[in-house]
Amino acid sequence: MLTPTTTTTASASPLRLLSFCLSKPSVSLSKTPLSSLSKSSTFPQSSRPLSLHKPPMSWLGKLGFGTTKSPEPTMDSSSIAQGPDDDIPAPGQQFAQFGAGCFWGVELAFQRIPGVTRTEVGYTQGFLHNPSYNDVCSGTTNHSEVVRVQYDPKECSFETLLDMFWARHDPTTLNRQNERAPSILSSRDKSAQGQGGKAPLRQVYRPTATPSNHLGEPFVRGNDVGTQYRSGIYFYTPEQEKAALESLERQQKLLNRKIVTEILPAKKFYRAEEYHQQYLAKGGRFGFKQSSEKGCNDPIRCYG
């Protein structure tokens, strides 16, 4: 006679139950589309390889400017960004671009030069089309912070702009800018202005004899570090290129360290966010406006 048998979960071995569960998964990983997994997964998905590299952050980034991840440049965006600057200056005017560290103080210095009719700060020489300040601060787009200067060559020569460029920063520091002594008008130019006469065509801006800030201290170590703060002259014409190269050669003879300034054709200029424009003249961080009057020689507070 056959004896009926019954199986209950209470009498089953725990090991056998575990084996049974594992042998019949509720979801097949080998057959489930990856797209459906990514939708239900709570883990972040990334196609980038794991990297321990952390791009340098600017001092301004620590204040909350520039903290998001930048998009990857594409072939199309790179070709646009690496193209020439197709903006057109006002009739009778010319463009020039200069990179000399944080563009706030550099712009104010150029605003003060007689014959400069407009200044804009922005980004250039990078590989990403239409970058934001956050993108540039990521250190992955190769952009440089620059000031695009529009000037009247009948009142201001390109050599005058070069004089200010060299006087404004230390061109021997790579990807980090130290503030040089406040630039000053030569006594000849001051005399001409004081007598009410027209300022000479080339006003020479000269740093103080001993490199120092307005307190008499040596070079002030720059707070901003990164390729976007590199020294650069970006020319629009062969004449500008020639003048820039000759100017660099003269400057190198005056310095005991190698100049690292790059001299390259001007590429597409991307105007920076509006709050960056004329930042110091509008009051900077603390609301203390700094003069942009022509010929003004007040020391420039770089961050406001």
**Nearest to 234, CA basis, from 282, 189, 268, 200:** 268
Helix pair angle (103-111, 158-168), 10° resolution:
140
Nearest 5°: phi and psi at 127? Answer: -115, 0
Strand partners, 271: 122
Active-site hit among 102, 137, 156, 302: 102
Residue recorded with tokens 């605003």: 111
Task: Using CA atoms of 108, 111, 113, 114 in order, give the dihedral in degrees to the nearest 10.
Answer: -160
Is residue 21 annotated as a catalytic residue, yes or no?
A: no
Cβ(63)–Cβ(203) under 8 Å? no
Residue spans of alpha helices (H) in 95-222 = 103-111, 133-137, 158-168, 187-194
Point out the residues that are catalytic. Answer: 102
